[in-house]
């Protein structure tokens, strides 16, 4: 077998994804989708509605994350591995790191009851936060808003995280 690299890899999305850790089996699908759609930086964080046991799952170990990301890259014909950073404490992450991460980007938080619709085809870098099933609790939304995030919605139907991620990525970029 010979490897021939005669094409450029697809351009990465100008988007950083902040994701409340979903159920481990769902995480596999989300990582696949995010990698295949061009996300290159992903933060997995905690939230009030994230089960503590999710953080102990073998599916969030580096080698298992790498497997799903690699499958997404293969699907897209991409060669640049995304960075996945684990942040198991929401408050320190939101207060200490998020302001710098979201600086000079359009910072959006997906929230089922937000009044503002999610924008389409944004022509600038985006930082997108997506909560767990049921969304972020009011304290978490308030914390994100105080950091400069704008709550947005893609409709009134409650959706699974594995559906929301590709729907928002395709809408934004």
The answer to whether the Cα torsion of 28, 161, 88, 35 is positive or negative is positive
Q: What is the mean pLDDT of residues 154-163?
A: 87
Q: How many CB atoms lie within 10 A of CB 134?
A: 12
- Which band of pLDDT confidence, cut at 50, 70 and 90, is reported for residue 3? low
- pLDDT at site 117: 93
Q: Give the global pTM.
A: 0.93
Residue 18 scores a pLDDT above 90: yes
* Rounded-to-integer distance, Cα 60 and Cα 51, Å: 14
Q: How many CB atoms lie within 10 A of CB 65?
A: 20
pLDDT digits 0-9 by tens, 24-65: 999 999 999 999 999 999 999 999 999 999 999 998 898 999
Nearest CA-CA partner of 59 in 96, 37, 32? 32
pLDDT digits 0-9 by tens, 118-147: 999 999 999 999 999 888 999 999 999 999
Sorted by where each begins, the domain ranges of the chain are 15-172
Residue 21 scores a pLDDT above 80: yes
**What superfamily would CATH give domain 15-172?**
SPOUT methyltransferase, trefoil knot domain (3.40.1280.10)
Nearest CA-CA partner of 126 in 95, 93, 103? 103
Per the CB < 8 A criterion, the answer to whether 143 and 94 are in contact is yes
């Amino acid at each position: 077998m010979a490897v021939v690299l005669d094409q450029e890899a697809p351009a990465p999305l100008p988007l950083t994804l902040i994701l409340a850790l979903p159920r481990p089996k769902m995480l596999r699908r989300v990582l696949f989708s995010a990698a295949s759609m061009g996300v290159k930086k992903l933060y997995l964080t905690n939230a009030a509605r994230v089960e503590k046991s999710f953080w102990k799952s073998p599916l969030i170990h580096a080698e298992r994350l790498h497997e799903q990301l690699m499958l997404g890259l293969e699907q897209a014909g991409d060669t640049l591995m995304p960075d996945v950073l684990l942040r198991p404490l929401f408050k320190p992450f939101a207060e200490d790191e998020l302001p710098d991460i979201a600086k000079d980007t359009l910072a959006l938080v997906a929230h089922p009851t937000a009044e503002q619709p999610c924008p389409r085809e944004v022509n600038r870098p985006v930082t997108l936060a997506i909560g767990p099933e049921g969304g972020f609790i009011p304290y978490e939304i308030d914390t994100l808003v105080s950091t400069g995030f704008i709550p947005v919605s893609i409709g009134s139907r409650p959706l699974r995280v594995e559906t929301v991620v590709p729907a928002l990525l395709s809408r934004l970029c």
